[in-house]
Amino acid sequence: MKLALSGKFVSTAACVMMALSVPAMGIAGDTIKFGVAGPHSGDLASYGLPSVNAAKIVAKQVNDAGGINGKMIELLIEDDVCKPEIATNTATKLASEGAEVVLGHICSGATKAALPIYKDKGILVMSPSATNPALTQSGDYPNFFRTIAPDDAQAEVDVNFVLEKLGYTKIAVVHDKGDYGKGFAEFAKKFLEESGKAEVVLFEGVTPGAVDYSAIVLKIRKSGAEAVIFGGYHPEASKIVGQMKKKRLKTTFISDDGVKDMTFIKVAGKNAEGAYASGPQDNASNPLSKVAIEAHKATFNSDHGAFYENAYSAMLAMVNAIKMAGSTDLAALKKVLQTEKVETPVGNIFFNEMGDAVGVGFSVYQVQDGKFVEMK
């Protein structure tokens, strides 16, 4: 019994040291603190780091232009490795450091774990990538907004496209067993079955990161599916289209906006040709989208990654809301977000009662000559 306590002594000493070494927080009142939370290390870092870049770019632009109503943006960037238990630490850290609004989290699971903490503190949270429908539709999290369409909306777009434009009747639904991919796939399956026009001939999950997907590709072929709807992210998608090509499969590949990412085309190369993916409407012709992409190129000397534009848009929406509301009070911010439209790379958007962005039109794109081309 006594032994435990000496351990605590060490840690307490460590805490005291930490507390001393961290510069006094919350003294400067002339900044607005934006929390940025997401996976910045570990296996899912590639989904979290682009949002950090977006936050940095927008913050710099705003600060260079004189800040929000004269106040500078200060970024508090915290890693949550996409794990719920770490996300609660991240959230309490951001809350106790005085973050006034939060860009994040990236994964739906981490977001769900973190939201009650922000809710308690009245902090506005806007995610560029958490697509789980329950986040907005359950009504549990009045402080949550997002600039990405929920799984069910996307699945509907994809399913309608497959049924009406392509007219297929035998469809395989494959997912990556993750919360995003499986959620999307389950909705796709539901909509397909409800429509009564098509048959789901296969519904299975693949293991992300596996060295080889040929067995599932063979199974798709055996099922006789005319199209595969895939729920998941681009690494798995490019592996699957690659192996489909290798096995000489002609099945059409349709996926979600975790795949509608330039990295998919880059990695899959020629194999991506002809694949479909849903994503926010016409952002290629949107001037702001070009600005956002170019800013990334100029600042970081590299192409942006996943959810960059969504994060950029979320930053713009939050900056605009704070500017219009004149404070970071949750109720005031909500009012602005729900009434005032804002120009962003994903479209001219505002938010509905539940927190989903309205105006992020969704359409289906096809990869043609190394580019996503919108299917009208």
Partner 1 sequence: MDYFIELLFSGLTRGSIYALIALGYTMVYGIIGLINFAHGEIYMIGAFTAFIVATVLSIYGFPLLAIIVIAGVAAAVWSSAYGYTIEKIAYKPLRHAPRLSPLISAIGMSIFLQNYVLLAQTSDFLPFPALIPEFEFMEPVAHIVGSSDLVILITTTIVMLILTYIIKFTRVGKAMRATAQDRTMAMLVGINVNQIISATFIIGSALAAIGGLLIASHIGQINFYIGFIAGIKAFTAAVLGGIGSIPGAVLGSLVLGLTESFATGYVSSDYEDVFAFSLLVLILIFKPSGLLGKAETKKV
Partner 2 sequence: MLLIKELKKALGVALWFVFLTFPIMVIKVDPIERIIRYRWENAAYVAIVTFTVYLVMSFIKLRKLRVTADKKESKPSRNVIHSILNNKKQLAVLSFMILAIALVFPHFFSVYQTNVMTTALMYVVLGLGLNIVVGMAGLLDLGFVAFYAVGAYSYALLNYHFGLGFWVVLPIGGALAAIFGIILGFPVLRLRGDYLAIVTLGFGEIIRLILENWGEFSQGPSGISNISRPGFFGMDFSLETSIMYMYYIMVIGVIVTIFIVNRLQDSRLGRAWIALREDEIACQAMGIDKRKTKLAAFSLGAFWAGLIGVVFAAKTTFINPASFTFLESAIILSIVVLGGMGSIIGVIIGAFILILMPEYLRALSEYRMLAFGGVMVAMMVFRPQGMIANIRRTYKFEKQK
Task: Write out the residues near partner 2 by the rule CB under 8 A.
Answer: 1-12, 14-15, 18-19, 22, 40-42, 77-79, 82-85, 88-89, 92-93, 95-97, 107-109, 112-113, 116-117, 120-121, 132, 134, 140, 177-179, 182-183, 186, 205, 266, 302
User: Judged by CB, which is closer to partner 2: 8, or 246?
Assistant: 8
| 300 is an interface residue for partner 1 by CB under 8 A | no
Side chain identity at 86, as an amino acid letter?
Answer: I
Q: How far apart are CA 294 and CA 279, in angstroms?
A: 20
Are residues 306 and 263 in contact, defined by beta-carbon separation less than 8 angstroms?
yes
Crossing angle for the helix pair 45-64 and 308-325, nearest 10 degrees? 40
| 235 is an interface residue for partner 1 by CB under 8 A | yes
DSSP annotation of 106 reads S
Q: Which long-range contacts (CB under 8 A, 24 or more apart) does 164-170 make?
A: 165/364, 165/375, 166/227, 166/252, 168/198, 168/226, 168/227, 168/252, 169/197, 169/198, 169/199, 169/226, 170/198, 170/199, 170/201, 170/223, 170/224, 170/225, 170/226, 170/227
| 211 is an interface residue for partner 1 by CB under 8 A | yes
Crossing angle for the helix pair 214-223 and 234-246, nearest 10 degrees? 70
Q: How far is the CB of 358 from partner 2 (least distance, A)?
A: 24
User: Judged by CB, which is closer to partner 1: 166, or 262?
Assistant: 262
Are residues 289 and 51 in contact, defined by beta-carbon separation less than 8 angstroms?
no
DSSP H stretches of helix in 122-261: 134-137, 151-160, 179-195, 214-223, 234-246
| 190 is an interface residue for partner 1 by CB under 8 A | no
Size of the site for partner 1 (CB under 8 A): 39
User: Judged by CB, which is closer to partner 2: 179, or 257?
Assistant: 179
| 112 is an interface residue for partner 1 by CB under 8 A | no
**285: partner contacted, choices partner 1, partner 2, none (Cβ within 5-8 A by kind):** none
Q: How far is the CB of 361 from partner 1 (least distance, A)?
A: 27
Q: How far is the CB of 113 from partner 2 (least distance, A)?
A: 4
Q: How far apart are CA 75 and CA 72, in angstroms?
A: 10
What are the φ and ψ backbone dihedral angles of 363, each rounded to 5 degrees? -140, 170
User: Judged by CB, which is closer to partner 1: 67, or 205?
Assistant: 205
**5: partner contacted, choices partner 2, partner 1, none (Cβ within 5-8 A by kind):** partner 2
Are residues 229 and 188 in contact, defined by beta-carbon separation less than 8 angstroms?
yes
| 224 is an interface residue for partner 1 by CB under 8 A | no
Residues with Cβ < 8 Å from 116, sequence gap 6 or more? 141
Q: How far is the CB of 341 from partner 2 (least distance, A)?
A: 31
Side chain identity at 321, as an amino acid letter?
Answer: A
Per the listing, tokens 């439209």 go with 341
Strand, helix or coil at 349?
strand
Q: How far is the CB of 318 from partner 1 (least distance, A)?
A: 24
Residues with Cβ < 8 Å from 29, sequence gap 6 or more? none
| 71 is an interface residue for partner 1 by CB under 8 A | no
**290: partner contacted, choices partner 1, partner 2, none (Cβ within 5-8 A by kind):** none
| 223 is an interface residue for partner 1 by CB under 8 A | no
Enumerate residues 16-35 that contact partner 1 by CB under 8 A.
none
Stretch that binds partner 1, among 92-100, 109-117, 199-207, 365-373 (CB under 8 A): 199-207
Q: How far is the CB of 226 from partner 1 (least distance, A)?
A: 17
Q: How far apart are CA 341 and CA 103, in angstroms?
A: 19
Q: What is the dihedral of CA 100, 105, 110, 115, to 10 degrees?
A: 30
User: Judged by CB, which is closer to partner 2: 117, or 259?
Assistant: 117
| 244 is an interface residue for partner 1 by CB under 8 A | no
Q: How far is the CB of 208 from partner 2 (least distance, A)?
A: 11
| 323 is an interface residue for partner 1 by CB under 8 A | no
Residues near partner 1 (CB under 8 A): 41, 43, 45-46, 49, 177, 204-207, 209-216, 218-219, 222, 234-235, 238-239, 242-243, 246-249, 263, 266-269, 271, 302, 305
